[in-house]
Each structure stands twice: as structure tokens, then as C-alpha cells.
Structure 1
Amino acid sequence: MHQTGDAMSTVAARPVPNTVDSRTARKITLAGCVGIFAELYDNGIFGFMAGTLAAVFFPGSDAAIQLVFLGYAVSFFFRPLGGIICGHLGDRIGRQRMLVFVILLISVATAAIGLLPTYASIGVAAPTLLILLRVAQGFSVGGEASGAMSFLAEHAPEGKRGLYTSYAQIASFLSLLTGTLIAAAMTSGLGAERMESWGWRIPFLLAVPLGITGIYIRKRISDTPNFNRLKEEGGLAKNPLKEAFTSAEHRRAMLLALFIPLMNGSGYYVLFSYMPTFMTNELHFGQVQGLLVTASSLVAICIAIPYMGRLSDRVGRKKVIAGAAIAMALVGVPCYLLIGTGNVALALVGACLMAVVFAGHTGVIHILLVELFPTRVRYSAYGLGYNVSAALFGGTAPLLMTYLIDRTGDVHMPAYYAVLTALGTLVAVSRVEDRAHLPLRDA
């Protein structure tokens, strides 16, 4: 146990099993999922509407799509800052307060994008403001990911942490699907001209009711038993991140939190966020066809995720994530070859198969990372490692793919990236001590 003076004098050395009843845990999980849905809704809009945003904010540029994804990528480099600041406050004053703050921030930032003047109105100031609002979104999501997952895991009944936290991942993919469907429906209904004139604003403005709903629900829930118990015992860390860096165990865990999520780069950010743009621009699918493939794969992963979460509760996190990584390394290239045939039916098979495989990673990764850290430093240390990973290997992925495809002319770059990141995750997860069947540690 890591000790820091009198702050630890009354904290028990042994982990304390969570005694939250199932009904309360379900209520908390629903509240967490609604918040996560509101937080990540923007990713679906941004991915599908990249072409429209390019025309509105970067008209006449040959690299307009790349510039849009550059704005997408820039926001990810502010995720670690959000993770550090929100994590510090979350470990000091509580998870619930910070989760209300971050959903407020991202809702305001997303809605503000819908109110921005266009390049035609104010010139270069328009894309500058767009990127600044993306920065605010990145900061907010940096505080959301580790906070929400810590919150859910600390409320979940023993033996069901994998299942309960996997529901949050379903919410994240449903929000991506919802954003994509809304953007697609409006593009189809209004046409390119009206979408570029004013229609692009509406999906972003819908963040207002989503945010209000999320804030209302999160304000009505209590903080976690683990945090409250630690607070009552006087065991809260004065400087959680500093404490994490002074512990060799925690430094090693943060390093693992940096590399185990590698598959997110080729999964969430390429297979789902970038896929509509990739299929339209590089494979010359129609927008409706691209939407059908993406939406089908999102439905497939939402179905598969809870099974993977439940499986990890039974056999452990390492086995499920390692199995998913091996499977992705084997099927990544064949699946992208199916997508690249131009045949919608084959593309559906390829994308859905990859989605089911990726569920073994995304449905389990967060609970594995939560279990690496004790309550005293969990929000801060987990947030830093995971958000640095998202910045380096996640948000940059769409920009990297468009750049590499443009330079090489090889549309199979996403397939190579899928294999490479899967192998990286496999190596990293092999170094983890699996704590699936142990209570969460407070200190």
C-alpha cells in the first residue's frame, strides 16, 4: 500500500468490497450512460459532416478534408490537460461534481459550433473559432472518460464491474450512431446546398437538450461509495497525480494505460468516426451506402459489447482483450479488403466482423484501466495515461489515414493500422496483473 503521511493513517490496508445494491447500481449506470451519450454525440456529427464542414470553414482549399480532421485531432491534445485538471479535482472533491461540470462544458462548446459565423462571413477567424471550440470539447472529454468510468466501476456490484461499465461503451457508440444518423438524415433531406448554407448548424444545436438532460440526471446522483468512504477516513490524496508519479507501481500502471488502448486508434477513431468519409472519398461509395455500412457496424458492436463485459467478469480482462487483439491482427486486412471491393454486402460483412472483434477491446479496456489504480489516485492517473494515448494514437488517426492515403495512394492504410495497433495492445496487455476478481482498492 502506498502511504503519504497522516493522510493514510486511518485507511484500511485491505480492499473493501462494494456493497451497492443492484437497483442503485442500475440507476447510477443509467445516469452515467446518459451523460456519456451527451458527451460523445459530437463525434458522430463531426465524422459524417467532415465534407460539409470543409466547404463551410475551408472553402476552395485542396486540403479541406485534412484541415477538418486536423481540427478534430488538435482537440485530442487537450484531453490530457482535461484529464489532469478534472482528475485532480475529481480525486479531491468528488467524481459527481466534476461529471456535472464536464457535461456542461462540452454541451456549451458543441452548441457554440452551431452558432459560428462561416468563412464567407469572417474569413480565417471562422476556422480559428471552430478549432478553439474543439479544444474546449477535447478538454471536457478528457475529464469525462476516466471520471465516468471510475464513477460507474466504483458503484458496480462486485463480480459485475465488467458488465456494468460496458454499458457506458454502448452509450458511446449509440451516441456516435445517433449523431451520424441525424447528420445523414439532414444531408439527405436538405441537400448539399442548404446543408452548407444553414442546415449544418442544427445537429450541433441539438447538444443543448442533450446537455440539459445529462446535467439534470447527474446532479441527482450521489458520489461513489469508494470516494465517500475514503473521504470519511481522511484518506484523500492532497496531490493525486504527484502521488501517482512517486510510486513505481502507479508509474508502471500509467505506462500501461498509455499503450493498452492502442486499438482504439484503429477501432473507434478509424472504423467508426472516419469510416463514412473514407468510404465516400476513397472508395467512392454513395453517402447512403457509407451510412448503411457504418450504422450496421455500430449496431453490431452495441450488441456484442455487454457479452464481452460479462465474459471479462468470468474469465478476466486480459484474456478477452488479448483475444480481441489477436483476432484483429488476423482479420483486419481481410475485412478491409471486403470493404474495399465496393460491394455493399461484402462491406457490411467486413465492417460488422471488425466491430464484433473490436467489442472485445472497447467493452473491457476501461474497467481494466480502472482496476489498475486505487481510489486515491484513480481519476487522475487513469485519466492522464488514457488521454495521452487518445491524443497520440486516437484523435490523430483520421488525419494520419487521409495523409498516408494521399501520399501513397494505398487505400489499405486503415487495415495496416488496425493490425499494427492490435499487436501493440497485445504486447501491452500481456504485462498487466488481472484484478477482475478482486475488490477495487481504495489506497
Structure 2
Amino acid sequence: MNTVAPPQSGVVDPRTARRITLAGCVGIFAELYDNGIFGFMAGTLATVFFPDSKNAVLLVFVGYAISFFFRPLGAIVCGQLGDRIGRQRMLVFVILLISAATAAIGVLPPYTAVGAAAPILLILLRVLQGFSVGGEAAGAMTFLAEHAPAGKRGLYTSYAQIASFVSLLTGTLIAAWMNAGLGAARMEAFGWRIPFLLAVPLGITGIYIRRRISDTPNFSRLRAEGGLSRNPLKEAFSSPRHRRAILLALFIPLLNGAGYYVLFTYMPTFMSKILHFSSVQGLLVTAVALVSISIAIPFAGALSDRIGRKKVIAGSAAAMAVLGVPCYLLIATGNVGLAILGASVMAVVFAGHTAIIHILLVELFPTRVRYSAYGLGYNVSSAVFGGTAPLLMTFLIGQTGNTTIPAFYVVLTALGTLIAVSRVIDRAHEPLRDA
């Protein structure tokens, strides 16, 4: 197996930098690709797997939410192994698991063929996806941060966030293109399978790329010195400093849950089912917002390298608290132009959070426990405040008829993030700690 040598002394040649960045981003792309499919095709999946239910879309989002509660388990298992045997090995494993689970959804029998076994199998595969994603996000971000040159950790890790939104856009576009080309009847008959099956070539490509990359300099140095932890998570919980950091890793990403899963994953369903936008209109609004945030992310990452993570995230959270409701009211007008404006403004504001959140959390922990402790805190937060968001929004809007509920959720989580990030010691301009 050919490998690329890890960078030394913070110097990364351009060719190695490209491979490292690609290896870190490819799993994030695979992870979020499935969310794009689910968000846009919730209605089709509801018909295929829950045809006899009046709350079919709600049940699809129940399955979506359940998978998130297995992310912390994935973070614990993969994090423990990642801190003991290496980041690179676990990144190969998790992308294999993510791709296999996503592709397997594409061959599931429908409810009309096997009855209740169909939605049960769907949920079980979503659980497997949740487990693997729990190990992916922390692993990929740790990998990129530990490879990044001094003074560029914010920029390097922001590339993975660009991959996440480009992936979401890709999944949404593929699902929308197929829906428009095949029509509702053929999509329900067989077309819904194709986007999931595309995970096969994506996974093969990701595994090939990740197998050719060496482990990070931080981990390799610690292993050579005999400084690896035998039980990283136990070590993390035994330290008051690490326990406090895990608590911060739970609450600082509050806005990430609302911003990502409400603003992007839930948005297509919200616009079509609640606001009665056409599929094309909903796609246009979502696509422009995704392009906007993808452009803004690297600027936010680079800015955090200059002025610090804390200032950028606090500014983003404060702006979202102020602009969340007005922007959602623009979307709720039903006017496509105003909806694009509202969604794009929120997307650019949210870039200041999503571009920085992972590197800020990475910097809270030393190499010995970083993958485990960061992964656990972040994935518990994603499960509680992120994965449940589409389900919660669908339920509350159904109960109250109030279409501004997503806006209030975004504002509340923005305020929560603002309070939590005020407790952080900014380490943007310090080297990553090994112990």
C-alpha cells in the first residue's frame, strides 16, 4: 500500500495537502449525501414505506431521528479505537460502513412486498448509518486539524464543511432531477432506489483515497513516544478539565443542530408540505442557500485563524438570534425571490458557526483523548438537538399551525450557543496539545 508521509514541522507540500484534504472530506461528503436524499424525498419514502399511515412523513422523520441516538455509540467505539490504533484506520472503516448502509437502503423491499418488515429494515439501516457517522465527523475533523500547518487549522477544517454542504446539494439535486425526469409514479416504483445505490462508487472512491494517506503527525509522534492512552474515554472523564470540555462540546453546537437540520435538511419538506412551494421552487431556494454557505465557509475559517474561533462563532450566533425570525418570515411569504433572500442571509450567517465549530472543539482536547471525548460530546449534541429537529418541527407545526416555529427554534439555539461559547478559552493561536 502506497502512503503519503505525514507533514513535518507544520510544512505541507501542495500535493500532500490536497490528498490530506480530500481524504478528510470524502467521508463527510458520503455522510451528508444521504441527508440530502432523505430531506428531498421524504414524501416519496413515506409512500413507499408507510403507505397506510396518515402521518407517513412524520414517521419518516422518526426513523431519521432514531439514527441520531446511535451516533454517540459510534463516537464511543470509533473514538476509543481511533485514539488507540490511529485516525486513518478508523476513517477507512467508517466510510465503508456509511456507504454500505446507504446502498443497502436502495435494495430494500417496499411495504407492499413485505409489510411492516420494510420500515423496520429502513430504520435498522438508518441506525447503522448513525453509528458510522458518529465515528466519521470527529475522526475526519481530528485528522484534518492534526495535519494542518500552524496558523491554518481553521481554514483546513472548513474544507470539510464545504464538502458537507456540497454533498447535501448533490443529494438534493440528484433526487430532484430524478423526480422531475421519472415522475411520482416511477419514483415510487423504482426511482427512489437509484440515489441510494450511488453510494457504492462513492464509497469505493473514498476507501481508495483514505488507504493511501498516513496517520497524523500528532498521533504518530505520541505513538512513537509510548504516550497513547489505554482507555481514552475513561481518562477524559477522570479529569475535571476534560469533563468541562465535554460539556462545552455538548452545548456549543446547539446552533449547529438547528441551523443545519432545520435550515437545510428540513427546508425542502417545510417548503413543499407547509408553504406549498413547487418542487422546483423549493429546490431553487435550497440550492442558492447551499451555494451561498459553501462560498462563505472558507472565509469564516480563515477569519477564525486571524481573530480567533470565539469571536467568529459568537458573532454568528448573535446575528442568527437577531435575523432568524425576519428571514423565516421572508421564506414564509411564498415569494420565491424573498425566500431565496431569507434563506441565503441565514446561510451566510450560519457559515460563521459551521465553519468553526469543529476546529474549536478539536482544540479543547489533547491528542490522547481528542477523538473519543470530542466525538462523544458533539454527537450527543447532534442526537438531542439536531436529528430530532425535523421531527419536532413537523410535529409542532402540525399541532399549532404556526409556520414560524422553525425560526424560534433557530433563535433559541443561537442564544444557547452564544452563552456556551462565552465560557471557552480560545486556543486558535496555540499548538494542539498532545496531553
| TM-score, with structure 1 as normaliser | 0.96
Q: Which residue of 2 aligns with 1:320?
A: 312
Which residue identity does 1:399 align to in structure 2?
L
Q: C-alpha distance in 1, partners of 2:360/2:265? A: 24
Q: C-alpha distance in 1, partners of 2:175/2:248? A: 36
Shift in Å at residue 35 of structure 1? 2.5
Change in Cα spacing, 1:211 to 1:149, as seen in structure 2 (3 Å) is same
Indicate if the aligned counterparts of 1:33 and 1:168 stay in contact, CA closer than 8 A.
Answer: yes
Q: Which residue of 1 aligns with 2:121?
A: 129
Q: C-alpha distance in 2, partners of 1:84/1:36? A: 18
Does 2:45 match 1:53?
A: yes
Q: C-alpha distance in 1, partners of 2:87/2:170? A: 27
Does 2:313 match 1:348?
A: no
Does 2:253 match 1:261?
A: yes
List alignment gaps of at least 5 residues for structure 2: 1-7
Shift in Å at residue 24 of structure 1? 2.3
| SS class of match (1:284) | coil
Which residue identity does 1:348 align to in structure 2?
I
Q: Which residue of 2 aligns with 1:245?
A: 237
Shift in Å at residue 60 of structure 1? 2.3
Q: Which residue of 2 aligns with 1:12?
A: none
Change in Cα spacing, 1:52 to 1:145, as seen in structure 2 (3 Å) is same
| SS class of match (1:296) | helix
Shift in Å at residue 38 of structure 1? 1.8
Q: How does 1:146-161 map to 2 (within 5 A)?
A: 146-161=138-153
Indicate if the aligned counterparts of 1:17 and 1:439 stay in contact, CA closer than 8 A.
Answer: no
Indicate if the aligned counterparts of 1:21 and 1:157 stay in contact, CA closer than 8 A.
Answer: no
Shift in Å at residue 21 of structure 1? 4.4
Q: C-alpha distance in 2, partners of 1:305/1:278? A: 25
Q: Which residue of 2 aligns with 1:363?
A: 355
Q: How does 1:419-438 map to 2 (within 5 A)?
A: 419-438=411-430
Indicate if the aligned counterparts of 1:76 and 1:390 stay in contact, CA closer than 8 A.
Answer: yes
Match of 1:294 among 276, 286, 292: 286
Q: C-alpha distance in 2, partners of 1:429/1:202? A: 42
Identity rate, percent: 79
List alignment gaps of at least 5 residues for structure 1: 1-15
Q: How does 1:70-219 map to 2 (within 5 A)?
A: 70-219=62-211
Match of 1:273 among 251, 257, 265: 265
Q: C-alpha distance in 1, partners of 2:69/2:382? A: 8
Match of 1:417 among 400, 409, 413: 409
Indicate if the aligned counterparts of 1:115 and 1:201 stay in contact, CA closer than 8 A.
Answer: yes
Match of 2:327 among 308, 323, 335: 335
Shift in Å at residue 321 of structure 1? 0.1
Which residue identity does 2:399 align to in structure 1?
R
Which residue identity does 1:431 align to in structure 2?
R
Q: C-alpha distance in 2, partners of 1:225/1:124? A: 49
How big is each residue's C-alpha offset from its partner over 1:222-259, in whole Å with a ceiling of 9 and x where there is no partner? 00000000000000000000000000000000000000
Q: Which residue of 1 aligns with 2:367?
A: 375
Which residue identity does 1:223 align to in structure 2?
D
Indicate if the aligned counterparts of 1:373 and 1:441 stay in contact, CA closer than 8 A.
Answer: yes
Shift in Å at residue 19 of structure 1? 4.5
Indicate if the aligned counterparts of 1:80 and 1:384 stay in contact, CA closer than 8 A.
Answer: yes
How big is each residue's C-alpha offset from its partner over 1:295-322, in whole Å with a ceiling of 9 and x where there is no partner? 1000000000000000000000000000
Structure 1 stretches of 4+ moved >6 Å: none
Q: C-alpha distance in 1, partners of 2:22/2:356? A: 18
Q: C-alpha distance in 2, partners of 1:56/1:401? A: 22
Q: C-alpha distance in 1, partners of 2:310/2:411? A: 18
How big is each residue's C-alpha offset from its partner over 1:338-393, in whole Å with a ceiling of 9 and x where there is no partner? 00000000000000000000000000000000000000000000000000000000
Does 2:302 match 1:310?
A: yes
Indicate if the aligned counterparts of 1:318 and 1:429 stay in contact, CA closer than 8 A.
Answer: yes
- Residues matched between the structures, number: 428
Q: RMSD of the alignment, in Å?
A: 0.9
Indicate if the aligned counterparts of 1:329 and 1:420 stay in contact, CA closer than 8 A.
Answer: yes
Q: C-alpha distance in 2, partners of 1:35/1:62? A: 36
How big is each residue's C-alpha offset from its partner over 1:71-107, in whole Å with a ceiling of 9 and x where there is no partner? 0000000000000000000000000000000000011
Shift in Å at residue 260 of structure 1? 0.3
Q: C-alpha distance in 1, partners of 2:11/2:242? A: 26
Which residue identity does 1:364 align to in structure 2?
I
Which residue identity does 2:124 align to in structure 1?
L
How big is each residue's C-alpha offset from its partner over 1:129-188, in whole Å with a ceiling of 9 and x where there is no partner? 000000000000000000000000000000000000000000000000000000000000
Shift in Å at residue 193 of structure 1? 0.3
Q: C-alpha distance in 2, partners of 1:115/1:89? A: 31
Which residue identity does 1:165 align to in structure 2?
T
